């Protein structure tokens, strides 16, 4: 037989595009259109409905960037359409290739209720399933003219304050039409078969069976009367669509989904509208397709609907009760997991799962994080303690170098907890259920021979949209179709139950799920990251002192509502495109303002509690919020610091220029360039700085990654570096017995940096405050600390512990981790001696090692301070910054933990009557208190969360300085955990604890 495949395939593509698809909507009748431009920000629906509408015509331009245009469409269904299915086609000027990233609309009735949303793949509205003729149509379209910002070029359209006012869109089509059901079904038949056919091997008979059936179907189509011949054409396809799948066919659990970034290339306020648009379509689709299941994560997004669209929220609640609309994930938002602090990660689950329980009575069991940029090794334990048992991610398929070896596996965290995890082999969380994607899922699946099923999230996403009726048509046709995986629409939990039952002995992956991409997100938008870290610290303070005051001070009211509201604000801003710095300028401008408000409010809550505790008096009391005692003040207490008793700090001129500063524990040399050339540990008689090298060296690199500007740094940035050694000024600005500060000023490019280097009496840290006036473009600023340490690995603080990473590059897996994340500290050591670098808001680091000519090894730790990418915010990080970090020679892990908390939790001074005893005390510094608060149920019980911080077993006594009736170990939602109970408290309020390495314990202390 002659090979005419390409002829038939070309024929199908053209006939579909030019004849069959246009015939889906026939006999079009134009609607009458009015328009009104909303001034400024979006207006309430009632205002949009009551607005004065002017005339409008097809072809008119509309919508400046971030504007809202209201269209009023009216018309009458022709009488001769009686009995026909009638739809309106409302095309706002869509580009079919970019759903979720352009203009969108929400159709309202005259009473303000929503009908459905409009987007590039959903530009229709059903008028009647069987028209009577003469029906009146009156709808109001709230159209958002969001600019298209996906081309990765620098643009000022990402902020309403800098965007242009020219219209971006042209109204394309607003008509009533007859919906030709058989034509639409023919389109679905042909598209599914064509997609399947092109995935089959050229030697497979099934491919040619489909080809001949398509040829025959096209022969049956009268191009002049497609609606009249569609049924005949479909009959030619019946046999090939009825052939069942092979017994060994891969099984796909298809879950409707609409990944909606809570902010990214649009501001938060637009996300509020995006989730309403998407979910209105989903519940409408459920009304007509009872088999449809839609999963939605992010409690914040459902809370927005509850607040802004209560009538839609009630519809969603009904669909949740019916089992079609499925809350998943259990987190407040799909947050970043690398930089979020331990307690904040716990609160993501506390407030997310609590919302689902309170609103819907739903206990979510899976964690749904398809798009976050790598996953902390602390996550498995947090997942389990939240009451969840399954984890889903997708983003690891983006890794540049190494292909992840599993799709279904057990993920083991730093404490040994394992969670059953699935990584969908379809390699997208926005599947269209097309043949290419399903074939890729089946072929890519790495568990063949042991497992047989995978999950596919389907529906338009990133900017929302969700599944369409076309997606459901594909699922129906591929449920049991020869040559295709078997597709079944079902709930995520059903997939996990089946996958676990089939493959309970799946392989184990231990440690973090490091994404070999988007490493620049540890650094971009420094002020957003600083706002997050400082907010986490301030929330700790506010809760500790408020809880202490609530227990100790009669009449003091614990600010439950305020703290929960602030927590949710901070959690929202931990979304995986806000905290990582990968959103437009508008998002980060608002984030900076939000963090400023949070800071002032939390300071007010903290001060009010401290004043209530301190009482009236003139004594200067120092409040210590850190989990370790300092200056004689116990953790969580306040009082008068003990007399120093330390050697005074001295400063001398250094031979050859610079200064020598000493305090009896450290001797620090700052040379004439203002660089630290020696940090000598007098107690260990050990030098921290590598010979011939200088620490606290600012270095600048070019920073122009291959694609994702704000997201990525590529390894080749290291090929060019400039050491910033030119000096503007070097002076001693403080020289007292308690502290000596040397100030170093430099200029470089269009920027300047002023560093204050301080050594304090009794301290074993050298503190640096770096003020940078940053005006570089596409540059990367680092601070280098070359250390005389032979370290095979580094330890980086993560949530509730630390993670080790190799300093060598033996394999591609280690080489790919050329930029890593650390929280408050990073530590390197050789047996017997180590050094830590501490910070108060920096997350990005790199660690390298070199062997010197003398045979010694230099391990260089560098902090990533600032970047200057141009997309999506062309002014990223421009302006003034204050960055704090410290060098701790001779530090062990325990010292790093203590000093890291001390740097991030500064002492507070309040005048009062008498010292304040801590509410709780621990007798083992290896066990760290992460949070002290009152219970969420407002019972007045005290909840304390703590963890083992050094990676070893620990026993400790937790003593409460108030009456307790019982102590209970709970999960993160403060519910009792099954199993052995926490030991009963003794008469003096002491509870004995035993912890495994890095174990998190949440203890509820019941007050009588």
3-state secondary structure 95-106: CCCCCCCCCEEE
Local confidence band at 642 (pLDDT 50, 70, 90 cut-offs) = confident
What pTM, to 2 d.p., does this model score? 0.97
Longest CA pairwise span in the chain (Å): 102
Inter-residue contact 827 to 795 (CB < 8 Å)? yes
DSSP string for residues in 442-508? HHH-TTBTTB-EEEEEESB-BB--B--HHHHHHHHHTSS-TTS-EEEE--HHHHHHHHHHH-TT--E
Question: How much of the chain, in percent, has pLDDT values that exceed 70?
Answer: 100
Rounded to whole angstroms, the Cα distance separating 784 from 475 reads 55
Contact predicate 330/367, CB 8 Å:
yes
Beta bridge partners of 768: 757, 885
Cβ-Cβ contacts under 8 Å for 738 (sequence gap 6 or more): 644, 648, 649, 760, 761
In the structure encoding, which two tokens stand for residue 683, read together? Answer: 């107690």
Residue-wise pLDDT tens digits, 491-516: 999 999 999 999 999 999 999 999 99
For the chain, the straight-line distance linking the first and the last C-alpha, in angstroms and rounded, comes to 89
Strand partners, 779: 702
pLDDT of residue 443: 97
pLDDT at 656: 94
**In this predicted structure, what is the pLDDT of residue 939?**
97
Cis peptide, bond prior to residue 872, ω within 30 of zero: yes
- pLDDT, tens digit (0-9, with 9 covering 90-100), for 314-356: 999 999 999 999 999 999 999 999 999 999 999 999 999 999 9
DSSP 690-748: PTT--BSEEEEEE---SS-TTT---GGGGGS-EE----SEEEEEEESSSEEEEEEEEEE
Name the packing angle between helices 299-308 and 342-360 (round to 10°): 50
Cα–Cα distance measured from residue 621 to residue 602, given in angstroms and rounded to the nearest whole number: 19
Q: What is the mean pLDDT of residues 353-369?
A: 97
From start to end of 765-907, where are the E strands?
Answer: 766-774, 779-787, 793-798, 801-806, 820-821, 825-830, 833-839, 844-851, 857-867, 879-889
- Classify residue 260 by its DSSP letter: B
Q: Which residues pair with 294 in a beta bridge?
A: 256, 325
Output the CA–CA distances (angstroms, integers) from residue 920 to 182, 637, 800, 936, in the order listed: 72, 9, 19, 19
Q: Encode pLDDT of 14-48 as tens digits.
A: 999 999 999 999 999 999 999 999 999 999 999 99
**Is residue 699 pLDDT above 90, yes or no?**
yes
The pLDDT value given to residue 1: 57
Identify whether the C-beta of residue 55 lies closer than 8 Å to the C-beta of residue 230. no
> Which segment of 1-15, 590-604, 788-802, 895-909 scores lowest on mean pLDDT?
1-15
Average pLDDT of the chain? Answer: 97
Strands 637-639 vs 619-624: parallel, antiparallel or unpaired: antiparallel
Q: According to the model, what pLDDT value does residue 23 have?
A: 98
Residue 569: partners with Cβ closer than 8 Å, 6 or more residues away: 594, 598
For the stretch 136-175, pLDDT in tens is 999 999 999 999 999 899 999 999 999 999 999 999 999 9
Among all residues, which ones are annotated catalytic?
A: 371
For residue 7 the two structure tokens come to 């002829």
State mean pLDDT over 766-787.
Answer: 98
Residue 189, sorted as left (phi over 0), alpha (psi -120 to 50) or beta, turns out to be alpha
Q: Lowest mean pLDDT of 470-484, 525-539, 548-562, 632-646, name the range.
A: 632-646
Q: What pLDDT does 913 receive? A: 96
Residue with tokens 């064509």: 194
pLDDT in tens, 457-485: 999 999 999 999 999 999 999 999 999 99
3-state secondary structure of 424: coil
**pLDDT of 556 over the 70 cut:** yes
Is the sign of the CA dihedral 873, 879, 882, 885 positive or negative?
positive
| pLDDT-based confidence at residue 96 (cuts at 50, 70, 90) | confident
Q: What is the pLDDT of residue 819?
A: 98
Residue 4: what pLDDT?
A: 80
Question: Between vectors from CA 836 to CA 804 and to CA 726, what angle results, nearest 5°?
Answer: 120
Which token pair is 609? Answer: 């509690």
* Euclidean distance between CA atoms 537 and 542, whole angstroms: 9
Q: Which two tokens stand for residue 260?
A: 């909606």
What 3-state class would DSSP assign to 350? helix
Whether the CB-CB separation of 982 and 398 falls below 8 Å is answered with no
Q: Stretch 743-762: mean pLDDT, rounded?
A: 98
Residues of the chain with pLDDT > 90, as a percent, come to: 98
Predicted local distance difference test score (pLDDT) of residue 2:
67
């Amino acid at each position: 037989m002659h090979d005419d495949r390409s002829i038939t395939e070309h024929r199908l593509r053209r006939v579909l595009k030019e004849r069959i698809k246009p015939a889906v909507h026939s006999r079009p009748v134009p609607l009458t259109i009015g328009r009104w431009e909303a001034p400024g920000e979006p207006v309430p629906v009632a205002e949009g409905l009551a607005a004065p509408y002017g005339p409008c015509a097809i072809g008119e331009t509309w919508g400046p960037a971030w504007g809202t245009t209201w269209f009023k469409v009216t018309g009458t269904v022709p009488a001769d359409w009686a009995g026909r299915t009638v739809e309106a086609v409302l095309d706002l000027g869509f580009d079919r290739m970019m759903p979720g990233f352009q203009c969108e609309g929400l159709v309202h009735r005259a009473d303000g209720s929503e009908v459905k949303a409009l987007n590039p793949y959903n530009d229709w509205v059903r008028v009647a399933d069987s028209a009577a003729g003469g029906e009146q149509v009156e709808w109001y379209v709230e159209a958002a003219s969001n600019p298209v910002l996906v081309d990765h070029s620098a643009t000022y359209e990402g902020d309403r304050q800098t965007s242009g006012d020219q219209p971006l869109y042209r109204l394309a089509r607003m008509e009533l039409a007859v919906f030709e059901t058989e034509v639409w079904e023919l389109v679905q038949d042909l598209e599914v078969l064509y997609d399947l056919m092109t995935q089959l091997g050229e030697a497979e008979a099934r491919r040619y069976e489909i080809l001949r059936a398509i040829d025959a179907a096209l022969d049956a189509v009268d191009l002049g009367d497609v609606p009249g011949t569609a049924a005949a054409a479909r009959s030619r396809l019946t046999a090939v669509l009825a052939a069942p799948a092979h017994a060994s066919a891969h099984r796909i659990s298809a879950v409707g989904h609409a990944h909606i970034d809570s902010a990214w290339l649009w501001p938060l306020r637009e996300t509020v509208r995006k989730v309403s648009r998407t979910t209105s379509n989903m519940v409408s689709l459920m009304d007509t397709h009872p088999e449809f299941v839609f999963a939605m994560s992010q409690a914040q997004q459902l809370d927005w609907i509850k607040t802004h669209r209560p009538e839609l929220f009630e519809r969603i609640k009904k669909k949740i009760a019916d089992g079609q609309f499925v809350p998943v994930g259990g987190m407040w938002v799909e947050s970043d997991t690398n930089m979020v602090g331990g307690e904040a990660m716990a609160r993501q689950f506390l407030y997310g799962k609590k919302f689902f329980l309170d609103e819907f009575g739903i206990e979510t069991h899976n964690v749904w994080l398809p798009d976050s940029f790598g996953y902390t090794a602390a996550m498995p334990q947090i997942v389990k303690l939240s009451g969840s048992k399954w984890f889903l991610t997708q983003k690891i398929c983006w890794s540049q170098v190494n292909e992840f070896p599993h799709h279904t596996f057990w993920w083991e965290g730093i404490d040994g907890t394992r969670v059953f995890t699935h990584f969908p082999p379809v390699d997208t969380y926005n599947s269209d259920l097309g043949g290419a994607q399903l074939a890729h899922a089946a072929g890519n699946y790495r568990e063949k021979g042991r497992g047989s099923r995978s999950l596919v999230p389907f529906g338009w996403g990133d900017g929302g949209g969700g599944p369409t009726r076309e997606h459901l048509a594909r699922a129906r046709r591929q449920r049991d179709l020869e040559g295709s995986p078997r597709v079944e629409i079902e709930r995520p939990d059903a997939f996990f139950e089946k996958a676990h039952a089939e493959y309970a002995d799946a392989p184990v992956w231990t440690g973090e799920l490091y994404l070999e991409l988007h490493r620049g997100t540890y650094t971009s938008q420094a002020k957003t990251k600083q706002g997050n870290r400082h907010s986490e610290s301030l929330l700790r303070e506010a809760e500790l002192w408020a809880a202490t005051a609530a227990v100790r001070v009669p009449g003091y009211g614990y600010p439950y509502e305020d703290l929960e509201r602030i927590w949710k604000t901070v959690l929202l801003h931990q979304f995986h495109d806000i905290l990582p710095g990968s959103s437009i300028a508008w998002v980060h401008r608002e984030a900076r303002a939000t963090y400023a408000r949070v800071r002032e409010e939390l300071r007010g809550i903290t001060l009010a509690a401290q004043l209530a505790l301190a009482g009236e008096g003139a004594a200067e009391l120092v409040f210590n919020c850190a989990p370790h005692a300092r200056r004689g003040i116990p953790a969580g207490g306040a009082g008068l610091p003990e007399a120093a008793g330390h050697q005074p700090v001295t400063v001398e001129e250094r031979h050859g220029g610079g200064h020598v500063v000493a305090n009896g524990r450290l001797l620090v040399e700052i040379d004439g360039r203002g660089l630290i050339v020696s940090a000598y540990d007098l107690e260990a008689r050990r030098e921290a700085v590598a010979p011939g090298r200088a620490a606290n060296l600012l270095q600048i690199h070019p920073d122009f990654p291959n694609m994702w500007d704000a997201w990525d740094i590529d390894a080749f940035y290291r090929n060019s570096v400039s050491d910033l050694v030119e000096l503007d000024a070097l002076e001693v600005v403080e020289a007292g017995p308690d502290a000596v500060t040397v100030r170093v000023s430099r200029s470089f490019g269009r920027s300047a940096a002023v560093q204050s280097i301080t050594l304090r009496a009794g301290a074993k840290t050298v503190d640096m405050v770096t003020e940078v006036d940053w005006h570089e473009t596409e540059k990367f600023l680092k601070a280098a600390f070359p250390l005389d340490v032979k370290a095979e690995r580094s330890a980086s603080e993560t949530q509730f512990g630390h993670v080790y990473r190799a300093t060598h590059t033996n394999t591609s897996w280690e080489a790919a981790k050329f930029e890593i994340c650390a929280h408050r500290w990073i530590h390197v050591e050789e047996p017997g001696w180590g050094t830590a670098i501490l910070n108060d808001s920096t997350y990005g680091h790199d660690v390298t090692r070199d062997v010197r000519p003398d045979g010694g090894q230099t391990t260089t730790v560098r902090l990533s301070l600032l970047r200057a990418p141009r997309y999506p915010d062309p002014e990223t990080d421009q302006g003034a910054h204050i960055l704090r970090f410290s060098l701790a020679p001779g530090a062990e892990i325990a010292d790093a933990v203590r000093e890291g908390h001390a740097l991030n939790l500064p002492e507070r001074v309040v005048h009062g009557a008498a010292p304040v005893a801590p509410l709780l005390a621990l007798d083992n510094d290896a066990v760290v208190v992460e949070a002290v608060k009152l219970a969420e149920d407002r019972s007045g019980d005290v909840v304390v969360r703590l963890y083992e911080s050094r990676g070893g077993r620990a026993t400790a006594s937790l003593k409460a300085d108030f009456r307790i009736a019982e102590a209970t170990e709970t999960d993160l939602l403060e519910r009792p955990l099954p199993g052995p109970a926490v030991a009963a408290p003794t008469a003096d309020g002491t509870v004995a604890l035993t912890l495994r390495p890095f174990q998190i314990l949440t203890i509820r202390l019941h007050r009588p």
